[in-house]
């Protein structure tokens, strides 16, 4: 692919800089002097003793015993700093002789103040198998002793060795008195364990089996210069195991993609460095599969799953050429992309200083009722898109006085009431000051201007931050920087902020361990914590590469004394697969309210999958009954996390619920009459079927009502030259009916009957099925008792 010259030029200059030796100091962390330290290990080879890791010589290294016998994994190396420090990170340099034997893969880092009692891991994960120095940062803690435990070798060859060339320990300030250190109050939440990853996670999604899938590009640390494969990592929140996988079978470099979770929980990844490609991650098999190519090459586009399960895409001029990135729609069942040029990209363009390849990036898309899509930003202009036929759009006004807000956030925290929070962003993609602006958008009827309310601003201006909706409806905004410059950690917003929709106010929370800026992600996890990770992807040795993620525990998980709060427990649910409008019964161990949060995906500040639905319930003891929202534009098809929230505001662990595609009701528009059909018979019909593929309805099929067929054998269709013309309409109503006296003509011309909610249910059961062959097409007929 071809990159804009300004992007390649900046990237090349940065890469040259980052390959130059740099001081291993960071604005948030400084190395602690190693004078007087002692080092011990569980095993050492003669000539490769543990003391080598602090000798300042990268060509010497500690290595576990391999001769005359091999000591088995796990292995540890432990540092005694002689006194306590406030610590917040370590660096690990593998051997530098070109041999990978013993490079550490899976590992943990633990702390101790006395060498006897050890903390839970402050870090776990997997290191990339190369010679670069690995930096890992965690939240401030006190320690005299640091232990790095190797659980595997990074080569994946089942070797039992470990090595370290140099170890350093970091502190926010080595002069701090560890004895008087007090961590932030848990009423600000707490940043917990750091997860080391073998890639820079510039994109990620969480699947219905609770696997978090991360990916970078064709390389684990660099975005440009290659195509045809993607480096990925997988982690299950219930374990400390991180696995690396190179995905090459799809021939798709999935950097700078659009991401959507479809109705069956498949992660659909579009475009990027390979700009027309589509790849699907299937959580049930754990496999990546090639899907149909888009009609238009794209990078930095946005996609959104809509009410009928199809996926809409628009924008994306970062890759595949500039401009003209009008809408397309993807049917995952048919595996087909269809151009809908009436969904023009023009109304969403920003006035970015860098011009065309930036102006259509990262649209804030929200699926809504009647298969519509609302675009809330980042342009100051808002718009509606309709995907029927060749598509259309309608302007929806301005986001009040908010300027273009590229790489800001938009989160639907209350889908039932159509409430969207927008926060931050900058007028241009880079070299641009971010705002701290916040606005509340309330969606109403499709194609009407929403209500926009200016909210109090955040404390920190943020571009490249991420917003995550929590089970209680609050929105966490994490990361970002005040002056948007890709591949930098300057002007970072380290404290997270929490928007409270009950009071329309912001609260400043505990600071994250490292900046999360350009190419960072954030996701809600099923235990109601939040994962925030990544940043960088700027080449070997780039200090802005963050090969990690960190878990945030919001304030609702703690009691006033700082200890963990007891969670409510969902003991049973009536069903884990339901349609919109269905009844859900939940039994818990304590009085609860409930919410559904859709599983999410994240890249480049965009997460169009997440949204929250609060459930209204009636209670019988500790058993609660809720009627789900009936509109699939509110309760999108796919997988959701069901949370119970107790009277103290503490959420449960989530139970996964699948929301099925809604019933699709089909109305006959025209037909041809069989010789077996009495001309005076009533021929009006309604077809009500559950189809996962609404735009691929088979014409020429036998119509079945209430499980019965007429005029032929059940299950057989008509011949190919005898079409029954039908039109599909997803609807939240239990049924629909055709008004009386609507003429249906026996021709190929489709005349749409007037459809109304069926207040006359008995009519549905008066309809019979038609066994069709072409005869006597000259007879027009009337519906509802009128003779033909």
Number of domains in the chain: 4
Q: What is the pLDDT of residue 524?
A: 99
pLDDT beyond 80 at 59: yes
Q: Are the C-beta atoms of 102 and 63 separated by less than 8 Å?
A: yes
DSSP code for 98: S
Q: Which domain holds residue 758?
A: 663-788
Question: CA angle 625-731-626, nearest 5°?
Answer: 5
What is the C-alpha separation between 392 and 526, in angstroms, rounded?
37
Whether residue 344 lies inside any domain: the answer is yes
Q: What is the pLDDT of residue 783?
A: 32
Q: What is the pLDDT of residue 699?
A: 33
What is the C-alpha separation between 764 and 706, in angstroms, rounded?
9
pLDDT digits (tens, 9 = 90+) for 301-332: 999 999 999 999 999 999 999 999 999 999 99
pLDDT beyond 70 at 685: no
pLDDT beyond 90 at 681: no
Both 630 and 697 in one domain: the answer is no
DSSP code for 165: S
pLDDT beyond 90 at 721: no
Both 64 and 144 in one domain: the answer is yes
Of 447, 337, 418, 384, the C-alpha closest to 629 is: 418
* Global confidence as pTM: 0.85
Both 269 and 363 in one domain: the answer is yes
Element (H, E) at 110: strand 106-112
Whether residue 697 lies inside any domain: the answer is yes
Q: What is the pLDDT of residue 25?
A: 78
Q: What is the pLDDT of residue 224?
A: 87
Share of the chain above pLDDT 70, in %: 81
Both 167 and 298 in one domain: the answer is no
Q: How many helices (H) and strands (E) does the chain have?
A: 2, 58
Both 282 and 330 in one domain: the answer is yes
pLDDT digits (tens, 9 = 90+) for 557-571: 999 999 999 999 999
Both 574 and 544 in one domain: the answer is no
Q: Which of 467-471, 584-588, 746-750 has the lowest mean pLDDT?
A: 746-750
What is the C-alpha separation between 440 and 475, in angstroms, rounded?
12
- Residue indicated by tokens 């509109």: 631
pLDDT band, very low/low/confident/very high, at 697 (cuts 50, 70, 90): very low
Q: What is the pLDDT of residue 522?
A: 99
Whether residue 565 lies inside any domain: the answer is no
Whether residue 208 lies inside any domain: the answer is yes
pLDDT digits (tens, 9 = 90+) for 376-419: 999 999 999 999 999 999 999 999 999 999 999 999 999 999 99
Both 479 and 495 in one domain: the answer is yes
Both 689 and 627 in one domain: the answer is no
Contacting residues for 538 by C-beta, under 8 A, at least 6 apart: 11, 14, 15, 18, 221, 222, 223, 487, 544, 545
Both 124 and 254 in one domain: the answer is no
Which CATH number goes with the domain that contains 75? Answer: 2.60.120.260
Which has more confidence, 39 or 741?
A: 39
Both 627 and 668 in one domain: the answer is no
Whether residue 601 lies inside any domain: the answer is no
CA distances 480 to 173, 483, 532, 602, 660, Å, are: 23, 9, 11, 14, 36
Whether residue 603 lies inside any domain: the answer is no
pLDDT beyond 60 at 244: yes
pLDDT digits (tens, 9 = 90+) for 260-300: 999 999 999 999 999 999 999 999 999 999 999 999 999 99
- If one counts every other C-beta atom within 10 angstroms of the C-beta of residue 727, the result is 14
Mean pLDDT of the chain: 86
Of 158, 160, 105, 102, the C-alpha closest to 128 is: 105
pLDDT band, very low/low/confident/very high, at 727 (cuts 50, 70, 90): very low
Q: What is the pLDDT of residue 24?
A: 58
Both 47 and 170 in one domain: the answer is yes
Q: Known catalytic residues?
A: 518
What is the C-alpha separation between 106 and 639, in angstroms, rounded?
30
DSSP code for 663: P
pLDDT digits (tens, 9 = 90+) for 608-630: 999 999 999 999 999 999 999 99
pLDDT beyond 60 at 760: no
Whether residue 564 lies inside any domain: the answer is no
Q: What is the pLDDT of residue 707?
A: 37
Q: What is the pLDDT of residue 384?
A: 99
Question: Strand, coil or helix: what is 694?
Answer: helix
Contacting residues for 419 by C-beta, under 8 A, at least 6 apart: 412, 413, 440, 441, 442, 443, 501
Both 260 and 349 in one domain: the answer is yes
């Amino acid at each position: 692919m071809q990159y804009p010259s300004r992007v390649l030029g900046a990237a090349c200059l940065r890469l040259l800089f980052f390959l130059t030796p740099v001081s291993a100091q960071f604005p948030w962390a400084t190395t602690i002097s190693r004078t007087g330290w002692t080092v011990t290990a569980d095993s050492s080879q003669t000539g490769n003793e543990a003391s080598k890791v602090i000798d300042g010589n990268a060509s010497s290294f500690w290595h576990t015993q391999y001769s005359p016998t091999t000591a088995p994994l796990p292995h540890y190396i432990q540092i005694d700093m002689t006194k306590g420090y406030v610590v917040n990170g370590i660096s690990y340099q593998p051997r530098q002789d070109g041999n990978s034997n013993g490079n550490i893969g899976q590992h943990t880092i633990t702390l101790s103040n006395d060498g006897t009692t050890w903390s839970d891991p402050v870090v776990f994960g997997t290191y990339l198998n190369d010679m670069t120095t690995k930096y890992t940062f965690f939240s401030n803690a006190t320690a005299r002793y640091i232990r790095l435990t190797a659980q595997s070798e990074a080569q994946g060859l089942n070797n039992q060795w470990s090595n370290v060339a140099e170890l350093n320990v970091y502190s926010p300030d080595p002069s701090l008195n560890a004895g008087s250190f007090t961590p932030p109050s848990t009423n600000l939440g707490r940043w917990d364990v750091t997860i080391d990853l073998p890639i820079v996670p510039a994109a990620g999604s969480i699947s219905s089996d609770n696997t978090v899938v991360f990916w970078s590009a064709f390389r684990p640390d660099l975005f440009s210069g290659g195509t045809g494969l993607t480096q990925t990592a997988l982690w299950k929140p219930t374990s400390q195991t991180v696995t690396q996988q190179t995905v090459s079978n799809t021939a798709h470099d999935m950097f700078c993609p659009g991401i959507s979770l479809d109705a069956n929980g498949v992660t659909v990844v579009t475009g990027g460095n390979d700009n027309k490609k589509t790849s699907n991650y299937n959580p049930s098999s754990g496999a990546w599969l090639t899907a149909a190519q888009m009609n238009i090459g794209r990078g930095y586009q946005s996609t959104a799953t809509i009410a009928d399960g199809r996926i809409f895409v628009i924008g994306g001029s970062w890759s595949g050429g500039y401009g003209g990135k009008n809408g397309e729609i993807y049917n995952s069942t048919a595996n087909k992309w269809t151009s809908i040029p009436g969904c023009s990209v023009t109304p969403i363009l920003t006035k970015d200083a860098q011009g065309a390849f930036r102006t259509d990036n990262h649209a804030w898309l929200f699926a809504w009722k009647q298969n519509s899509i609302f675009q809330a930003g980042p342009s100051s202009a808002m718009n509606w898109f309709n995907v029927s036929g060749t598509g259309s759009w309608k302007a929806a006004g301005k986001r009040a006085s908010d300027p273009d807000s590229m790489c800001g956030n938009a989160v639907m925290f209350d889908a039932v009431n159509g409430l969207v929070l927008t926060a931050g962003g900058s007028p241009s993609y880079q070299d641009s000051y971010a705002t701290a602006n916040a606005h509340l958008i309330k969606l109403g009827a499709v194609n009407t201007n929403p209500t926009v309310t200016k909210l109090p601003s955040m404390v920190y201006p943020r571009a490249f931050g991420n917003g995550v909706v929590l089970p209680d409806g609050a929105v966490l905004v994490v990361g970002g920087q005040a002056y948007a410059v890709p591949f930098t950690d300057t002007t970072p917003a380290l404290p997270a902020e929490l928007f409270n929709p009950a009071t329309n106010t912001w609260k400043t929370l505990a600071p994250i361990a490292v900046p999360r800026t350009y190419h960072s992600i954030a996701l809600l996890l099923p235990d109601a914590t939040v994962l925030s990770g990544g940043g960088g992807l700027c080449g070997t040795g780039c200090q802005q590469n963050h090969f990690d993620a960190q878990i945030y525990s919001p304030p609702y998980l703690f009691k006033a004394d700082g200890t963990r709060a007891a969670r409510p427990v969902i003991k049973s649910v009536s069903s884990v697969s339901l349609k919109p409008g269905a009844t859900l019964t939940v039994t818990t161990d304590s009085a609860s309210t409930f919410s559904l949060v859709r599983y999410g995906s994240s890249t480049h500040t965009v997460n169009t999958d997440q949204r929250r639905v609060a459930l209204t319930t009636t209670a019988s003891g500790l058993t609660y009954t809720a009627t789900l929202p009936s509109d699939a534009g509110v309760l999108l098809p796919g997988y959701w996390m069901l949370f119970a929230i107790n009277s103290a505001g503490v959420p449960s662990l989530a139970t996964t619920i699948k929301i099925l595609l809604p019933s699709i009701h089909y109305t006959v528009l025209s037909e041809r009459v069989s010789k077996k059909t009495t001309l005076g018979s009533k021929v009006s019909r309604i077809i009500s079927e559950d189809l996962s593929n609404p735009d691929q309805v088979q014409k020429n099929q036998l119509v079945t009502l209430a499980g019965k067929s007429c005029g032929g054998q059940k299950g057989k269709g008509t011949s190919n030259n005898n079409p029954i013309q039908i039109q599909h309409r997803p609807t939240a109503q239990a049924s629909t009916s055709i008004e009386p006296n609507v003429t249906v003509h026996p021709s190929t011309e489709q005349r749409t009957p007037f459809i109304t909610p069926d207040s006359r249910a008995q009519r549905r059961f008066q309809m019979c099925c038609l066994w069709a062959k072409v005869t006597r097409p000259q007879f027009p007929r009337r519906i509802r008792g009128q003779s033909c």
